[in-house]
Amino acid sequence: MQLASQPANGAGMRMKIARREAGTGQEGASALSLAPLRIDEWMCDARRVGAPVSLAWSRHIALPRWRTLHGPDPDFIGTLILFCGDSLHPFEPERPGFVKMCYGFRREVIVLGVRRSDRALLELVPRAAGDEERRLGHAAANAPDFVLSAILGLGRWRLSDSWRGFLVRWFAHGFGMAAVQHAHMYRVMLDRVDPRALPQPLEKIEAELNRREVGVMRRARRRLLEWLDPEVVRSVRRSNAILTPATYNLVATAKGEARERRVAALNTYPSVLPAFIAKDPPIPGNADVLAYYESGSEHEFRALARFIVGAVDRGEPLSSYFSRPFDARPQVIQAVREVPRLVLWRIGAWGLHALLRAVDAVPAGERPDTPADWIAFRDIAVAVAALAEALEDLSEEAGLQFWSGAVLPFLQWAARQGWGMAAEVVRDPVGDGSVAYGIDRALAAARDVARAQGACPDAAVEALARLSVLELIAWNRGWQDRLDEHFRRVETRGLVRP
């Protein structure tokens, strides 16, 4: 079937949209910028899939994935807008979905800009108000450049300090969100078609659609890279640190001797330094996410990062500054200095504290010495720290008792057993979270139960602190299973209740 010969079935509409977009100058903005797939012709045929699905598919492949803008003011080389909102849903645009789940509030676009004066990478601070986000998304998709520039110029910007490496190979933050969201919408439409009637196996169709979305987003990423300072990019890469918005901005926002010192610090601490200055928004949690975005400005990093960067610029030894926020010995900082960079990538300040605490508890000769062992050790450290800190939040004595009586023996056993094998004990077997997930709520509930039974709540916590690591993990898993079963029963009763 020739697409152009069927104007009434949706395919002709798609081709008209393609020709119209070709004249907009927004190359790479939609899926139509890449070669059409076999499934496009099939899904645009209203006689096969029905008019609603055909129209939805035609509309979706023409929707912008990203847009560039020269502005919003002369101090910007350019702005990149990534479209990732839940309003992309082809049938239920008001239905909250993937993006709201991740951020805690609706987001329609993620906006990144490059400042002309120092080539720093900035991001627009979002607002949680749904109507404002919808208006911004509509303007980003439809408004002329001068109108959109005026709108973005009224917003607040901040230095991007993300630790995710979308500047190189990985997709995360806005790039990953947009690619995943658009690919997911294809599946929403495919679910309305009998899979037995599809022209190819569903897995093959989805793989081709995913590759196309990634290809479109790669063009957006290349456009962003064109605006960045190539000398800064080369400096970060030579330092052996992962090129992320945080490491890029660390170098880009300094000149002269200060820049030399920052590059030297990245050379010395390619894993540890980024873990202190980088952060991604917590997921989910409305207040937490907004607090993260409001914690920096377009000229300064967050408070903890400023504390470290100030020491770097003054040329002071960094071990004591790294150890001070976590009350760790400088020798421990030196011990993790050569940790493979992927081990500390995305670990964050709390995870780094957990790792340092565990490293301090293991003799030097028994610590990991391979990347695989360090990754296993990191997972162990994060799990046991979450368990211990949940107890410490209720009783400092109980937390210390658990650390000395359960965690230290467990680490000794893990060193003898092998870090990789020991890590399997603390990794969630179903792979959807941590074995420590919900431990704080479980401990609080255990106190409430003890109080309701006339027992001492503190005694219940002390009894749990005497368990081994494996016993506390098993207790928590059992509690979470019972809690899930309770919620299932409540939901079931709700469905049959009049």
pLDDT on residue 491: 60
User: Which own/partner contact pairs does 10-16 have at CB distance under 8 Å and 24+ positions apart?
Assistant: 10/44, 10/45, 10/46, 10/51, 10/54, 10/55, 10/57, 10/58, 11/41, 11/44, 11/45, 11/54, 11/58, 13/44, 13/55, 13/58, 14/40, 14/44, 14/57, 14/58, 14/61, 14/62
Q: What is the DSSP string of 130-195?
A: HHHHHHHHHHHHHS-HHHHHHHHHTS-EEE----S-TTTT---HHHHHHHHHHHHHHHHHHTTS-G
Q: 124-137: per-residue pLDDT in tens?
A: 888 766 678 888 88
List the chain domain ranges: 66-155+168-227, 230-336, 362-498
Average pLDDT over residues 211-225: 89
The span from the CA of 383 to the CA of 3, in Å, is 56
Checking if the pLDDT of 28 tops 60, the result is: no
The reply to whether the predicted model has a pTM over 0.85 is: no
Checking if the pLDDT of 473 tops 60, the result is: yes
Checking if the pLDDT of 159 tops 50, the result is: yes
Average pLDDT over residues 144-162: 87
Average pLDDT over residues 65-82: 90
Residues with Cβ within 8 Å of residue 313, at least 6 apart in sequence: 254, 258, 261, 262
Checking if the pLDDT of 487 tops 80, the result is: no
CB-count burial class (<10 Å; 0-12, 13-18, 19+) for 105: buried
pLDDT on residue 301: 82
CB-count burial class (<10 Å; 0-12, 13-18, 19+) for 243: buried
pLDDT on residue 11: 40
Q: 316-355: per-residue pLDDT in tens?
A: 888 888 877 777 787 888 888 878 877 877 676 778 888 9
The span from the CA of 342 to the CA of 337, in Å, is 13
Checking if the pLDDT of 14 tops 50, the result is: no
pLDDT on residue 12: 44
pLDDT on residue 377: 93
